Structure 1
Amino acid sequence: MSEYSGRHRPPTRAERRALERRSRLPKSFSAAYALPTAAAVTLALTAVGATAAQSSPFSGEVAEQASASLNATALLEDPQLAKDVRTEVATASRNSSGLSERRRAVADDVAESQVRAQERADRDKERTDLAAKKKPEDTQDAETTASGWVRPLASGPLTSGFGVRWGRLHAGVDYGASVGTPLRAMSEGTVVGAGPMSGYGIYIDVEYADGTVSRYGHLSSVAASVGQQVAAGETVAYSGNTGRSTGPHLHLEIRPGGGEPVDPTGWLTERGIL
């Protein structure tokens, strides 16, 4: 091989490798040592811009912009500023999370209110439906209610009349009725008395529009309270065998004007409900 090394001789392979090795970047500039964030690139570009602004004949606006960029870079490098920024970001994140929780809480409250309102509406509807279905029990036929009065019970024989019995006045009439038979108001009126009474056991008094008071005695229970308004045919009590009684029945007294009892037979006959 010729030892000529003139300028027109092409470089050998060994020379090329040596040249390549000399042209490589130092290890400190490799990818492993490069700045890992976009902040490093921004820092570099800002520095180049500042240098260009200082050497440019347009030193006015360009120089000011470069100076502002340089100041921004300096601020980003301030550890306290970075800490403050992180604190503000964390605070904003917490506030956003708190707002979401409050919104969810409000939505839950609205949903619960709607559920409660619907439940109240359902209960009101049930009560309305029950009231609409409620009718006087065991109402009489049209002939017996034409006068606006009804018998005190749907059926039952007259077993005892008004008069002296065993040395004392039997002040009413008796109807045979098993315990628990519904007893009705004979017309529209107001309950003026109810509860236990000596001799009568459990009783109830209903006063009607003409002032007459009917008394039902020996009851098993009452179904209306004092002061309650009742309609003709409405159940006000149930027959029984309480007080001075020899068997289950209804004892009925008629007291005009709320005074002393009279024989109910004529009064009931006049109204067609004997």
Structure 2
Amino acid sequence: MHYKTLLEINPILLALFAALFTWGVTALGASMVFFFKKINQKVLNSMLGFAAGVMIAASFWSLLAPAIEMSEKQGGIPWVPAVVGFLAGGAFLLAIDKILPHLHLGQKLDKAEGIKTSWKRSVLLVLAITLHNIPEGLAVGVAFGALSNNPDTGALAGAVALALGIGLQNFPEGAAVSIPLRREGFSRLKAFNYGQLSGIVEPIAAVIGAYLVLIMTPILPYALSFAAGAMIFVVVEELIPESQTGDESDLSTVGAMLGFATMMLLDVALG
């Protein structure tokens, strides 16, 4: 389908379709559990590092840079929406991190974070992974919602690049979820279901993000920066520490470099 044809579609629908794609790639990655019972720690570190690199690059190239540019065009102080939105996004994820009960992979049950509950270990594990996907869905939704304010092929290409980049890092992320769950004692089918289920929040967050941008256009630079801040929080709080497990931390660093370069290539080439 041609870009000009896509621009005629409601931005909320475009956001939904894009986030369904990223969810589908998560499920595809989670399906690797049917072929592998365990994942090498070096490979896992590399995959998590790659995901971190993609999210860092997307935060700047697809979210913060456009937010600053939009603020300049609106005649405001360019850095204000970027800084305020960025910090608000981080604060939002920090609040969820403190409230939502969750457990990171490889941790004992008594290490669960958030409000204390009697929920099962499997539920807490999935909630931790779901937390990763909220800012990704918001980022996709806000990027496509921005088309209502700037309906040109360049903006659409940038939103598509963002969806492709997030989808790309969702594949290893899906595998990095389901395969460790298999090692935790889950059946292959159950590990797959939990792995793909963690991505269902992305279409929901994408629709919410796109809708809010459509009804409150002036907040767009803040919304883009908010999504960037939320993504960086996840990277620093979750992905980077988890990618540094074991003695081969250099592999996660290389993975992060490759992920950043890949996302930068997609955004600059397509956007």
TM range (shorter): under 0.3
Q: TM (normalized to structure 1)?
A: 0.18
User: Which has a greater percent of strand?
Assistant: 1
Q: TM (normalized to structure 2)?
A: 0.18
User: Which has a greater percent of helix?
Assistant: 2
Structure (1 or 2) with the larger CA radius of gyration: 1
